[in-house]
Structure 1
Amino acid sequence: MLTAVAIAVAAALPHRAEAQARPADHVIVVSIDGLRPEFYLEHRWPAPMIQTMAVEGAHARKVRGVTPTVTYPSHTTIVTGALPARHGVTNNRPFEAGGESGLWFMESDSIRVPAIWDAVGAAGLTSGGVSWPVSAGSAIDFNVPEFWSVSGREGELTGIAANVAALRSRTTPRGLLAEIERESLGPFPDFYWGRNRSREDAVGAMVGHIIEKHRPNLLLVHLNQTDYHQHAEGREHSEVRLAVATVDRAIARMVEATRRAGIADRTAFIVTGDHGFVDVDTRVAPNVWLVEAGLHEDRPDRGEWRAAFHPAGGSAFLRLRDPDDFAAVAEVRRTLEALPPGIRALFRVVERDELDERGADLDSPLALAAVPGVNLIGDTSGEAVQPGSGGAHGYFPDLEEIHTGFVAWGAGVAAGRTVPLMGLVDIAPVIAALLDLDFEAPDGVLRPGILSAGDGR
């Protein structure tokens, strides 16, 4: 009898050791779109949950983003540890030679390198996602991706109904969204897309359901109302404060869900963002200059174009119809150099060598980097320089206001630690270390001091 017991205990020991080797059994990554470090560093912002996490756990005073500092490349960097030139998602929208159709980088097959969810699956663990960009069709087990109908029509459905139908078709497993509606959320809300703070309450309910019912080892969540309101009102408006309070409440709801699920003591939270924000006073449409130079036509399909700027807010990337049309590049340079000095001072021309150093769009021979306060847009008609308002991002990541943030809290995380500066590329290594995954972040490193010393990291 004792021999049988000893054999049983011995057989169990490797599994126990393996479980103990993992600093956290569950990691919940919450991306707050437009997160600025002051939201958790300064108590004037109504974010008690995130601020508590920052004090009790580890946080960065600032996080350097990627080029350009826009949502989809940034979120792809978070889950790959790779820069945009390597992972392939170089803007929110792919450049379309025949004119913009409304297409975004929503499908995960745009990602050219392994993502953290691939490593989770390879380790025999499970993953979940709610509104995570560029995750449709991915290997995430329980996934309600960020997705909508590009055409605005799904069969006989149009508008919001078409968006909901499109989202259902891309949710995995297929009945997950119906399950969430039936058991936790109620009918899917019309306000899920667009500027409405109640959207984050819906996301909180969806995430809570996945935590309590499915308990994935990795859960990726995207909250976006802070982005919408900073675009509309700028950095310091009261509506932004309300949006911050709303996302903080949603995160608190997720924490409560881990307690109800009985996994709170084995769960680590990572709260991060994709970019900061800059107040805007001027809009510049560089494609207007290309139309005037005969390099582009003022038509939705671009007409007989040779060169076009692909805008990203605080930056714009030159694309060529013929990649070998060096004469077109030279004409673009002459056009920009001929501008009045006051207009020329609104941006700088960034050469290919610098774009390579930054890991930016491989298909652009040059780019424009706007000065703070200038938002680059894609218009091909009207005034090239116009008054602007609200806020923007997409600037090169050197700018102080464009830095985002990072907070880690919970299982496996060091207490009361501050990292002065880290990169967005350095977040995937933290996730991998917490879950003890075999994952290589090609452009990121695990910053010392984030994980607790007892985990040997």
Structure 2
Amino acid sequence: MRQVSALLRHAMLAAALLAGTGTLPLHAQTPADASRPKVVVISLDAFGAKSLHDPLLPAFTLKALMRRGAYAASMTPINPTITWPNHTAMVTGVDASRHHVLVNGLVVGQRGSTPPHIEMWVPKSRLVAVPTIYDVAHKAGLVTAEVDWVAIKDARGIDWSFFENPDPDGPIARDLIDQGVVSRDEVAHFHDASSQAWRDLVYTRAAVDIIRKHHPDLLLLHLLSLDSIEHEAGYGNDAGRNTIAFLDDRVQEVIDAVRAAGDLDRTTFLVVSDHGQRSLHHWLHADVLLRQAGLQDAAARHPSYSIPEGGYALVYQKHADAASIRQLKGLFTGQPGIAAALTPAEAAQQGWPTPAQTDQAPDLLLYAAADYAFDDNKGGGNDFITATPERGAHGYPNTDPLMQAIFVAAGRGIRPVGEIPSFPNVDIAPTIARLLHLSMGDIQGRPLTNILAADRDADAKH
């Protein structure tokens, strides 16, 4: 009984804070235009839709937002169901067949005689093949900002940035250093020996700094703690639930900062995720089969190598043709742990680009079965399948219930409609555009008009 009462007290406190009774001792600068609408997008990486619907989930801020606004039964990610492709889909309004982001970075050296690899820190202009909502907003004269968003390095459409791998001499980093949040050395070695929770705390403080000083019209914030812990511990346990409680506090911290900056009554909050997660106990090593088939020999006519990405793997083949791809497909079809081996034409039916559209597209797409995921073969072993203690992975087909993501919206312009049906995440970008009075042009997504109030209604409400 005491536990239930504590939950109710915490929920009431969160609701009171969202209603405006909470305060944060920040000294905000006056916004340049106090009439423009604002949108804050907070992405909680790997937050599965199934978790959000747990009635005892320790996420009181999210639950309060759900009561005050709208939330989806689930949000369907695009294929592939990993971080960079789906964050890109949410800001472009198109799937990977058009934006061409297939991994967490850029695949380089594919279709050669040596193994390819992924480069993460390449300019956005090399990664994303279409315009983004922040490009459109920036061109319209709005103030744009990002903290730990992805596929966004050196993006011209961003005014204020605290990059995933931050520059210690950047303006936001210097602010945090001056405030004593971090040292210059900690920023310079941001990913060395630090936990993801520590990094997410710093990312949140960077977002707070941007809100206080620059009043962005569009802010994109990405937090990774849940994805990190579930990769290590698997899905659906207390490690994940406790991390959700930690992330819920970060959402509240951002809301408090917006309130203290004087922007709460004209801000829309969208809390989203990119994909879910599932547990596994077996690794698949695609390069083992390729090597055993002679496809990695020095004299091979069609050298073939894989890029493992958890629930899927990309296989690239030098000088691939229809016959060699059929043979490649036959090598994997029916193998234990392989759910599907798809040719480019077959993968295109699931929203993947083809090699004719982009060199990022594979010559063969592999999907892992449940309880399996693809991993590299850096140890050089000869086993196609190896056992592992419970881990978490994503990248499985976007029809998998455990890959479904979350969507919660509240604030200016959002009607309190409660739960809405599932929808594709390409609808996020045009919804942001509608809230900011912008147009995205020719895209696949459509604005979520079922949750949007008319402008006059939104203004009257606040």
Please show how residues 90-109 of structure 1 align to structure 2 within 5 Å.
90-97=102-109, 98-100=114-116, 103-104=119-120, 106-109=122-125
Q: Which moved more, 1:31-40 or 1:265-274?
A: 31-40
- Of 102-111 and 208-217, more deviation after overlay is shown by 102-111
Deviation, 1:311, is 2.0
Is 1:386 aligned with 2:386?
yes
Q: 2:302–2:324: 8 Å Cα contact kept in structure 1?
A: no
Distance (whole Å) between structure 1 residues aligned to residue 204 and residue 332 of structure 2:
47
2:428 alignment partner in structure 1: 427
Residue among 328, 332, 343 paired with 1:332: 328
RMSD: 2.5
Aligned to 1:111: 128
1:145 aligns with 2:146: no
Alpha-carbon contact 1:351-1:366 (below 8 Å) kept: yes
Report SS of the residue matched to 1:280: strand
Q: Does 1:408 align with 2:413?
A: no
Per-residue deviation, 1:441: 5.7
Q: What's the counterpart of residue 340 of structure 2? A: 348
- Encode CA deviations 1:90-134: one digit per residue, 9 max, x unaligned: 111333324355522652111110011111112111101111111
TM-score of the superposition, structure 2-length normalised? 0.82
Write the distance in 2 (CA, Å) between the matches of 1:241 and 1:31. Answer: 17
| TM-score scaled by length of structure 1 | 0.83
Give the length in aligned residue pairs: 407
Work out which of the residue numbers 360, 366, 369 in structure 2 matches 1:368.
366
* 1:42 paired to 2:59: no
Given that 2:144 and 2:218 are in contact with CA atoms closer than 8 Å, whether structure 1 keeps it comes out as yes
Q: Does the Cα contact within 8 Å between 1:201 and 1:246 map onto a contact in 2?
A: no
Partner of 2:42, secondary structure, is strand
Q: Is the 8 A contact 2:345 2:354 kept in 1?
A: no
For residues 192 and 42 of structure 1, do their structure 2 counterparts lie closer, same or farther at Cα, with a shift above 3 Å needed? Answer: farther
Amino acid at match of 2:340: R
Whole-angstrom CA distance in 1 between matches of 2:50 and 2:175: 37
Q: Distance in 2 between the 1:335 and 1:89 partners?
A: 27
Aligned to 1:417: 418
Separation of aligned partners in 1, 2:289 and 2:396: 21
Q: 1:40 to 1:334 in 2, by over 3 A?
A: closer
Distance 1:401 1:316 in 2: 19
Please report how far the alpha carbon of residue 51 of structure 1 lies from its aligned counterpart in structure 2 after TM superposition: 1.4
Partner of 2:3: none
Secondary structure in 1 aligned to 2:315?
A: strand
Instruction: Assess if the C-alpha contact under 8 Å between 1:68 and 1:395 holds in 2.
Output: yes
Q: Matches of 1:455 and 1:145 in 2, distance apart? A: 36
Query: What is residue 239 of structure 1 aligned with on the other side?
Result: 239
The code of the aligned residue for 1:359 comes to: G
- Distance across 1 between alignment mates of 2:442 and 2:377: 37
Among 176, 181, 188, the alignment partner of 1:180 is: 176
Give the AA of the match of 1:134.
A
1:305 positional shift: 6.1
Alpha-carbon distance between aligned partners in 2 of 1:449 and 1:279, rounded to the nearest angstrom: 34
Matched AA of 1:142: W
- Corresponding letter in the other structure for 1:108: K
Q: Paired residue for 1:62, among 65, 74, 79?
A: 74
For residues 108 and 437 of structure 2, the distance between their equivalents in structure 1, rounded to whole angstroms, comes to 40
- Which shifted more, 264-273 or 51-60? 51-60
1:81 matched to 2:81 = no
Contiguous gaps of at least 5 residues in structure 2 = 1-32, 356-361
Amino acid paired to 1:373: D
Deviations 1:259-317 (A, max 9, x none): 1100101111100011000111211111110100111259xxx9986222222211112
Change (3 A) 1:432 1:277: same
C-alpha distance in 1, partners of 2:291/2:300? 10
Stretches of structure 1 that go unaligned for 5 or more consecutive residues are 1-18, 148-163
Identical columns (%): 26
Q: Is the 8 A contact 1:417 1:449 kept in 2?
A: no
Residue 20 of structure 2 corresponds to none
Cα separation, partners in 2 of 1:41 and 1:99, compared to 1, 3 Å: same
Query: Within the alignment, does 1:289 sit opposite 2:292 as a pair?
Result: no
- Aligned partners of 2:141, 2:409: CA distance in 1, in Å? 24
Q: Distance in 2 between matches of 1:146 and 1:117?
A: 17
